Structures are given as C-alpha cells and as structure tokens.
C-alpha cells in the first residue's frame, strides 16, 4: 500500500511538473502570437494609410484636371460670343447687293457656333474620361 501511495504521489508530482512546463510553453506561444499580431496590425495600418493617401492624391489630380477643362470652356465660350456678335452684325446690315453673301456668312456663323458647342462637349467628355481613367489607374496601381 505504501508503494501505491508513493506511486500516486510521484504521478501527481510528475503531472504538476509537466503542467508547469506546458503552462510556460503556452505563455511563450501567447506572447509570440501577440507580438506577431501587433507587427501585422502595424503593417496593415501602414498599407491602409498609404492606400488612403493614394486615393486623396488621385482625387486631387482629378479635380485639378477638371478645373483646367473648365478654363478651356471659358475660351470656347468667348469664341461662341464672337460668332454670335458677327451674326448680329451681319443681320443688322440688311439690304443691298450682298444679301446672298450675308445669308451664307450667317449660316457659317451658325455652323461655327454649333461646331464650337460640339467641340466643347467633346473636350469635356474626353477630358473627364481621361481624368477618371488616370485616377483609377493611379489608385489601382498603388
């Protein structure tokens, strides 16, 4: 019976010793996991900041390009006004032997005005498309 009691005590002691070793191993593994998790979190936070800055830069570039397109629109509007002024001057100078030529010039002024409007639309569309494409490429490429 003493041998059985000694066996139980040795078993219990061995079990506690092994549990202590496992506890230390588990503590080391938890510490290692926490360290790696913090490192990964910092890495992903930096990537997130980088992507956010890339998005901001792309939107700023897009806004600048759209502002340039608006400036070009002002030049186009000036040409349209000049064509309208020429058309008014032609219609004010009615009568005389040049009526046919005045009609043709008035038609030309109309065509010029329509053409200017079509050019403006085309420029706006192509600029906006190019600007949006550049912004998307900049965002996706980063």
Confidence check: pLDDT of 128 > 70: yes
Range of the domain at 108: 2-141
Residue 112's Cβ-side half-sphere holds a number of Cα atoms within 13 Å equal to 18
116 falls in which pLDDT band (50, 70, 90)?
confident
pLDDT at 100: 78
pLDDT at 65: 77
Residue with tokens 């065509």: 111
> From residue 26, how far is each of 19, 67, 114, 131 by CA, in Å?
10, 61, 80, 55
**Residue percentage of the chain with pLDDT more than 70:** 94
Residue with tokens 């219609």: 91
Confidence check: pLDDT of 43 > 90: yes
Total count of domains within the chain: 1
For helices 2-92 and 99-141, the axis angle rounded to 10 degrees is 170
pTM of the complete model: 0.42
């Amino acid at each position: 019976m003493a041998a059985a009691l000694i066996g139980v005590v040795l078993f219990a002691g061995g079990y506690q010793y092994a549990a202590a070793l496992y506890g230390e191993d588990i503590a080391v593994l938890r510490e290692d996991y926490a360290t790696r998790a913090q490192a990964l979190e910092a890495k992903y936070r930096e990537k997130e900041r980088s992507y956010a800055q890339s998005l901001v830069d792309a939107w700023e570039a897009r806004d600048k390009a759209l502002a340039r397109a608006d400036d070009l629109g002002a030049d186009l509007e000036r040409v349209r006004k000049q064509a309208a002024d020429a058309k008014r001057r032609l219609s004010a100078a009615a009568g005389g032997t040049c009526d046919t030529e005045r009609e043709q010039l008035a038609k030309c002024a109309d065509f010029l005005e329509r053409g200017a409007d079509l050019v403006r639309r085309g420029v706006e569309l192509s600029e906006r498309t190019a600007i949006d494409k550049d912004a998307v490429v900049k965002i996706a490429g980063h």
